[in-house]
Every structure is written in C-alpha cells, then in structure tokens.
Amino acid sequence: MPKPLLKWVGGKRQLVETIKSYLPHNHGRYFEPFVGGGALFFTLNKQGCHINDLNAELINVYRVVKSNPKELINSLQKHSNTAEYYYKIRGLDRSPKFIKMSNIDKASRFIFLNKTSFNGLYRVNKQGQHNVSFGGYINPKILDANNILECSVLLKRTKITQGDFEQLKSEILEGDFVYLDPPYVPLSKTSSFTSYNPGGFHLADQERLVEFCDYLDKKGVYFILSNSASVEVNELYHKYIIQEVYASRSVNCKGDGRGKIKELLIMNYDPKIVNNKLVVVGPMRLDISVDDRYIPSSLEMHLKILASCCSNPDAPIGIH
C-alpha cells in the first residue's frame, strides 16, 4: 500500500478513517483538486483518479515519481542532513540557475527540504523562495525507495494537473466523487497557516469554492469538503450537510499548538441514504420532507436510489 510521500500542513492522515466512513460506496472517478500531501488519495489507492494542486513544485514531485522513480531514488541518495547542506540546497531557488535544474533534481530538492525542514513545513515568501529553517532531526527518512516505487504505480494510473481548482470543472461528470481540502478559513487572525502558495487563499477564493460546490451538486456529483469549524464556513455551506469531526493538529510555527481541533466535513448527500443503509421496518409509506439542506439535485439523487430499492424486492430497505 502506498503511503503519502510528503509531510503536509493540513494533511488529513488523522482524519482518513473518519472521511472514509462518509464516502459513497459507489461512484465514478475520484477527484482531488487540492491534493497537497494526498493522505486520502494514497490511502484509497484507486484506479483512474485525477489529482490537482496549485503548487507547481509539489505537482512536479508527483509527476517525477510517476515517470522517473528510479532516477529520483538515485538523486535522493546524495543528500545529507546537516544545517550547512540544508541552507545550500534551500538557497538554490535564489539563483538564476534554478530554472535550469532538471525536474528530477527539483523534485529531489523538494522532498529533501520536506523531510529535513522544521516541522516539514513548506512555506515561501512573496518571491516564491522557500524560507523554512533547518529542522535538525536525528535520522529523518529522506529516502523511502519502496514507497516511491509503490506511489509510482498508483500515479501511473492517475491524471495529474497543476493549477487552480476551477480548471477541473469540465472534467467532473455526474456520479463522480470529489474530495475538496482547501486552505482553511482561519479561526482567528493569527492562528492560521495558509501560505502554501505566494498568493494565499482568501475569502473571495472561499466564495468561489462554494460556487464550485453548487455547480458540482447541480451536476449530480458527490462531494465532501473539509474546512475549519468557523462561523463563516457554517454560513457559506448552510444548505449542505455539515458534520463536526475532531483531529489532532499542530498549527502554529512553534509546534506547541497541538491538541484536538474541531473541523467540519461538508457533504451534498446523506451517506446513510446513498449507501442503502437506511433500514426501517413497518407499513410502506414514503414521507419526504424537503428542508433547506437538500437542494433539488441532491433530493433527486436520493429519490433515484430509493426508487431502485423499492423496485427490488430483495433490497435491504424498508421505508415508512
């Protein structure tokens, strides 16, 4: 089983099992427009997925692991875990030679910095230059050759794109599933880490994302979206199903802000219904009340499933 290749701020390793319990059992292709470290993507290990991220250096790593895993493994063998070497490699993006470096060497540098920087942070300044200090860890696992080879197998059957999440719009079709894990709406002005990319992710982007979700919902696509348990997120997604979940997180740069943090999973379907787990016995009567959580296409999706269960006498479902 492949494991995520990188440590990633906001990574979902802690929540993978919880998120899996909400997935629809049957769906078309799997899409992750904000893949980051891809905790859910690597764990699910499915055929024919499509992953995307705005971060060009991150996407270059996935492309190199896909196409040149052996060359990458060779390149990773040359690194050493000392402060002097770390700052030399970190400083390469300040030099004009950086653009001429091969994609394999860029991916190797990115993985090295990820494994040896403080808290595995990826953070760049306005010029796009990496600015995280040396972590000083004893024996960090800079090279995990077996995992690179396993990830390569998965990535060979995955479509990989780089850019803004909206570019996936036309690719996603009815019945597909999309897991959206954007940079979170900050809980306070000082608490957040959102600089995965020089431009950041602002309220206007969060609003654009709600429109994207509405578009997916109207198209009959299943989605789950993660975000912070903030007032703004509850308001932005009020018409969908909102589930509170708890994750252990270290969010501040000192690494001392650990603890269980409430987060939200937002979805446009009720997993109990789409997974045919609704088992109710009694007289046959179907009562459906429409409240403002269900917009028409979600309701239509639920009705289609209920109708197919009713027409099948062996279906494990009774409705009253």
Ligand X SMILES: C[S@@+](CC[C@H](N)C(=O)[O-])C[C@H]1O[C@@H](n2cnc3c(N)ncnc32)[C@H](O)[C@@H]1O
Residue 164: count of CB within 10 angstroms of its CB: 13
* CA-based nearest residue to 19, from 35, 5, 39: 39
What is the Cα–Cα distance from 214 to 221, expressed in whole angstroms? 10
Q: According to the binding rule CB under 6 A, does residue 201 interact with ligand X?
A: yes
Comparison of 201 and 222: residue with beta carbon closer to ligand X: 201
What is the Cα–Cα distance from 21 to 16, expressed in whole angstroms? 9
User: Which stretch, 47-55, 68-76, 142-150, 210-218, contacts ligand X (CB under 6 A)?
Assistant: 47-55
Comparison of 34 and 222: residue with beta carbon closer to ligand X: 34
Q: According to the binding rule CB under 6 A, does residue 10 interact with ligand X?
A: yes
Q: According to the binding rule CB under 6 A, does residue 11 interact with ligand X?
A: yes
Residue 280 vs residues 19, 25, 159, 268: alpha-carbon distances, Å: 25, 20, 41, 22
Q: According to the binding rule CB under 6 A, does residue 196 interact with ligand X?
A: yes
| Contact residue for ligand X among 2, 23, 31, 33 (CB under 6 A) | 33
What is the Cα–Cα distance from 32 to 186, expressed in whole angstroms? 21
- State in angstroms the smallest separation of the CB of 181 from ligand X: 4
Q: According to the binding rule CB under 6 A, does residue 34 interact with ligand X?
A: yes
Q: According to the binding rule CB under 6 A, does residue 54 interact with ligand X?
A: yes
Output phi, psi for 160, to 5 deg. -120, 125
What is the Cα–Cα distance from 308 to 314, expressed in whole angstroms? 11
Q: According to the binding rule CB under 6 A, does residue 112 interact with ligand X?
A: no
Over the window 148 to 187, marking each residue x when it contacts ligand X by CB under 6 A and - when it does not, the resulting string is ----------------xx---------------xxx----
8-state DSSP, 293: T
Residue 120 near residue 114 (C-beta atoms within 8 A): yes
**Contacting ligand X within 220-279 (CB under 6 A):** none
Q: Closest-CB residue for ligand X?
A: 36
Q: Beta 260-267 vs 222-228: how paired, if at all?
A: antiparallel
Q: According to the binding rule CB under 6 A, does residue 197 interact with ligand X?
A: yes
Q: Which residues bind ligand X (CB under 6 A)?
A: 8, 10-12, 33-34, 36-39, 53-55, 164-165, 181-183, 196-197, 201, 205
